[in-house]
């Protein structure tokens, strides 16, 4: 099993993800090879909380233009994690 630091790459701080924190749901960019079990283990180990449910989704990169050149943003994998009532992740609270 991978290290928790290799599974969770960074938190997602957007308007939509901040609205989900009211329901105890937190969003992370994760390693594309990670599965739900590894995500659950990583969140529980790093933040000392109890995870109830995990949703994962693959996000395709978007086309972007820079003058006449066309490129793409990179594909990524996201995970939405639901925590037990009363548990909080501190890095999301200060935003």
Query: 4-85: which CATH architecture?
Result: 2-Layer Sandwich (3.30)
Residues 59 and 67: beta-carbon distance below 8 Å: no
pTM for the full predicted model: 0.89
Burial class, 73, CB count within 10 angstroms (exposed 0-12 / middle 13-18 / buried 19+): exposed
- Name beta bridge partners: 26: 81
pLDDT in tens, 21-51: 999 999 999 999 999 999 999 999 999 999 9
The CA-based angle 64-69-72, given to 5 degrees, is 30
From CA 54, how far away is CA 79, in angstroms rounded? 7
Domain boundaries, the chain: 4-85
Is pLDDT above 90 for 61? yes
Q: In this structure, are strands 25-30 and 51-59 parallel, antiparallel, or unpaired?
A: unpaired
């Amino acid at each position: 099993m991978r290290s928790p630091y290799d599974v969770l790459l960074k938190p997602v701080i957007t308007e939509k993800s901040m609205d989900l924190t009211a329901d105890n749901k937190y969003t992370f960019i994760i390693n594309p090879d990670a599965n739900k079990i590894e995500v659950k283990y990583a969140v529980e180990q790093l933040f000392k909380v109890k995870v109830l449910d995990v949703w994962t989704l693959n996000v395709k990169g978007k086309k972007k233009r820079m003058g006449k050149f066309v490129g793409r943003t990179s594909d990524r994998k996201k995970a939405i994690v639901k925590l037990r009532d009363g548990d909080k992740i501190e890095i999301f609270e200060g935003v």
